[in-house]
Amino acid sequence: MQAIYFYEGAIGRYGIQETNGQLTRLWLGDRIAFAPSEPEIKETPLLIEAKAQLDAYFGKKLQKFSLPLAPQGTDFQLKVWELLQQIPYGQTTTYGEIATLAGAPQACRAVGRANGRNPLPIFIPCHRVIGSGNKLTGYTGGLDIKIKLLQTEGILLKF
């Protein structure tokens, strides 16, 4: 069973999608695109819980999500996304550091592409990855959302 439901929150409109009891997608802003035949638009207990945890995160009452995540990607993407989940709340790292941890120190751009294809932003915190020299780089939902996420976590960069 696939279900999606749309909410308004601190980052504007977003959609949370689940498949068979696991979160598979967080659609941000105007980047919502799926086949009209799937998923069914309905609120489920898991989607309600995911929204509640996002609300708690933005209310600075939650630092670590506890939800069943099921991102789909290549082996390298999955490895990068696993590493992203290890970045502590309120801290950042660089694409180069993630590439090194992934065992491919020259793969900074591949890490950037994996970040860009992250199907569960915020839950898998790709917003915590910045360019070398504290450079703010792109974000799936737009830089305004990335800035909001970083500021929520108390990360104040010079933009």
Which residue numbers are catalytic?
Answer: 126
15 secondary structure, DSSP code:
E
DSSP for 21-87 reads TEEEEEEETT-----TTSSEE---HHHHHHHHHHHHHHTTS-SS----B-----HHHHHHHHHHTTS
